[in-house]
Chains A and B, each alone.
Chain A
Amino acid sequence: MTTSVTPPVAEERAAPGRARARRSDRARQEARLGWWLAGPAFVVMLAVTLYPILQAMYDSLFRYRLTAPEERQFIGLSNYGVVLVDPIFWRDLWVTVLITIITVVIELVLGFALAMVMHRAIRGLRGALRTAILVPYGIITVVSAFAWFYAFDITSGYVNHWFDWVPGISENLNWFASQGTSLFVIIASEVWKTTPFISLLLLAGLAQVPGDMEEAAKVDGATPWQVLWRVILPNMKAAIMVAVLFRALDAFRIFDNVFIMTNGANGTEVLSLLAYRTSIGRLEIGLGSAVSVLLFLCVILICFAAIKLFKVDLTSARGE
């Protein structure tokens, strides 16, 4: 990018070999400056991210209970063996994946619709509209989880009173007494809370779609549907990928909503809750670390899958 905008100087035209050498000097200096600028952040990242991950990997090789420090014993990969053959782990993984897929799909559709509304809204309304849409995202997750819990709770909730005309809902419906209804409330609260986030990311992507391409498509006789599928969405691929990736990772690490509403009862436990209960509740540091490491590997897997699936090279934006 820098080469295309920098006007070629006389020496470069005269001696291209020397010019390349000078450019690489400059590139090296830029790289060095980059390291100096990013270095402190890099060190901090290593300290707060890499160190705990390595510590968890190390701890996962031990049978180690916090209240029996004397009995700590190296057992290799046995903890992983226990976790990977346990039906509770697979049930929790399945619930986590289910919540992730359903919330991401719903949020993507809803978020895109909201982004379109915000994008097309008349100028005077844009600010108010964006603020209104963002309100749920501004609420602390634990607070929203409690709000949803109390709304649906059979004793204190109002949902059963308001919606008893809907088939299947009655005064006696205990939403948190079975897996299906519990997951419905958990997923609904998650969607309500984080759709604004995804719509904001998609709005940024919409703003980058060149207007003249849309104009050209319309002039060529494309229907609005064709403009959406052939022009707008392909040009937003990077924004969609970022939105899906961020939300998928976020949804996969869901904790607060489940912890507050059911605490994992009725088969609604997710992987992060299992890791928490094993490490913090049971104080089984070794076994809990093994669950955490497996959770971390799942997150890495999601990152790779998203990047491969969308075939987007984010570095291409820098012209490299």
Chain B
Amino acid sequence: MAAALAAGVSACAAEAGPPTLTWYINPDAGGQARLAQTCTEQANGAYKIETVLLPRDASSQREQLARRLAAKDSSIDLMSLDPPFIPELAEPGFLAPMPDDVAKKTTEGVVQGAIDGASWNGELVTVPFWANTQLLWYRKSVAEAAGLDMSKPVTWQQLIDAAQSQDKLLAVQGQKDESLTVWINALVSSAGGQIITNPEAPAQDIKLGLESEAGRQAAQIIGEIGNSGVGGPGLPTEDEPTSLTIFQGEDGSFMVNWPFVWSSTVTAVEDGSVDKAVLDDFGWTTYPLTAEGGEVTPPYGGINIGVGAFSDHPDLAYQAAECIVTPEHQAEYFVSDGNPAAASQAYEDPKVQEAYPMYDVIRESLDKAVPRPQTPFYNEVTSGLQEKWFPPASVNPDTTPEESTQFITAVLRGERLL
């Protein structure tokens, strides 16, 4: 009897402890789990954060979160969200409304691209956490030999010509996945166009902007890289890590990729798997132009923190989100995991500047970065693009923009499978 009572009392004591907030995180180098621990300690018993790992790729993360939220899963208190998928979750009310004071505090000194990516319908629906962008990485020796002046923005055509003249490979992500859409979006934007001209419209009314000079120029570049052989035989299966491997190799010349490539290569040099001379030969600048006179429009990525609409503790979850995204924590996370901060202030941290000598180019890039189309039907748009703009060698400026427009429009109207 006494034992049963004691067990009951201890059970009550366990329940009476601080509420546990579950944070669904994307895989990283352990930085988010460390931040969860830090914020748990700083909460002084107000809450406890536990992390749950989501799948590796962004679309699988979206699938899992969308399924759980559609089933009104109350276990989702916090979630790390890729920006393109935010409208799809915001539109049906799967994200808890953000208190005004939280919105104000978490956007002070944050780069505009990150605020845009965290919003839907003009309203902040998630908290900006880290903001990623792609840079143009180059091998100084190759650029010099090819006579390219990398202090000024260069065009894709210049890169193709330079790589070909030196008999080297241009490292881009030609695989049939999200990275292909990232590439297409950056190319179209730089030429002054948009993949979707009215992203907030309902599915039936969405208009694509690919049948334009910008769409044609984008298709021209992808088709040329696919057909000329400058992308290498691995182009149709090339993702970000594969691009880095090519860039680090003997045939490396130019590469568009996220800043993680720097910390990866530094680690590889420390491990002895990459020669120090390769790292010393690394150069970086802002993303290439689609054509001369175009805009610098680097791809925008990153992760925002959303609070689940069915959470039992939305207020505490927003408190926790505020703690996670302080500029100090963003700087710490940038250094440990290689993911750039959304807060400008984080770039002033000496540790950030020491770990990422290209910090200034990253910040500049983030200011100019253009997000992928923000629409609740983003999945249809990106999958449709991947269907028609793949493999790169099949992309034709005269037919691909038109075919993809017709296909995606039909899918959005429910008339076609995807």
Contacts and interface: CB of A to CB of B under 8 A. Distances in A.
Nearest to B69: A67
Interface stretch (B87-95, B160-168, B259-267, B271-279): B87-95
A153 B175 CA distance: 13
A282 B380 contact: yes
B368 to A, nearest CB: 31
Interface string B177-217: 10000000000000000000000000000000000000000
Interface in B332-366: none
Of the four ranges (under 10, 10 to 19, 20 to 34, 35 or more), the interface on chain A belongs to 20 to 34
Contacts of B383: 277, 281-282
Interface stretch (B98-106, B110-118, B230-238): B230-238
B7 interface: no
Interface in B60-85: 63, 66-67, 70
A66 B67 contact: yes
B418 interface: yes
A86 B176 CA distance: 21
Given A67-B89, A177-B236, A263 B176 contact: yes
B242 interface: yes
Contacts of B59: 281
Given A174-B237, A265-B390, A67 B88 contact: yes
B92 A86 contact: no
Contacts of A70: 92
Nearest to B87: A67
Interface in B270-290: none
A278 B417 contact: yes
A66 B70 contact: yes
Contact of A174 (B66, B89, B233, B418): B233
B308 interface: no
A176 B237 CA distance: 7
A96 to B, nearest CB: 15
Contacts of B92: 67-70
Contact of A176 (B91, B177, B236, B417): B236
Given A67-B89, A68-B91, A177-B237, A82 B379 contact: no
A53 B376 CA distance: 30
Contacts of B391: 177, 265-266
Q: Which of A69, A155, A280 has the most CB of B within 10 A?
A: A155
Given A154-B234, A174-B233, A176-B236, A69 B70 contact: yes
Interface string A280-316: 1111000100010000000000000000000000000
Nearest to B85: A67
Contacts of A89: 417
B297 to A, nearest CB: 27
A83 interface: yes
Contacts of A177: 233, 235-237, 391
Nearest to B387: A88
A78 to B, nearest CB: 8
Given A153-B237, A154-B233, A155-B234, A278 B418 contact: yes
B233 A82 contact: no
B250 interface: no
Contacts of A254: none
A280 B414 CA distance: 16
Nearest to B71: A66
A281 B411 CA distance: 14
B56 interface: no
Given A66-B70, A282-B379, A283-B70, A277 B237 contact: no
A253 interface: no
A69 B94 CA distance: 11
Given A176-B236, A282-B379, A88 B418 contact: yes
Nearest to A66: B70
A82 B176 contact: no
A88 B416 CA distance: 9
B63 A67 contact: no
A170 B281 CA distance: 30
A139 B379 CA distance: 34
A63 B94 CA distance: 20
B15 interface: no
Contacts of A67: 66, 70, 88-89, 91-92, 94, 376
A172 B66 contact: no
Contacts of A283: 63, 66-67, 70, 379
Interface in A12-71: 63, 66-70
A68 B88 CA distance: 9
Contacts of A227: none
Nearest to A174: B233
A169 interface: no
A215 B390 CA distance: 61
Contacts of A174: 233-234, 236-237
A155 B66 contact: no
Given A174-B233, A281-B63, A287-B417, 6 more contacts: A88-B418, A155-B242, A265-B176, A277-B383, A283-B66, A283-B70
Q: Which 9 A-B pairs have the closest CB atoms?
A: A177-B236, A172-B233, A265-B176, A66-B70, A86-B417, A88-B417, A154-B234, A174-B233, A176-B237
23 contacts: A66-B67, A67-B66, A67-B91, A68-B91, A69-B70, A70-B92, A86-B416, A154-B237, A155-B234, A155-B246, A173-B233, A174-B236, A177-B237, A265-B236, A266-B236, A266-B391, A277-B383, A278-B418, A280-B63, A282-B380, A282-B383, A283-B379, A287-B417
Interface of A: 63, 66-70, 82-83, 86, 88-89, 153-155, 172-174, 176-177, 263, 265-266, 274, 277-278, 280-283, 287, 291
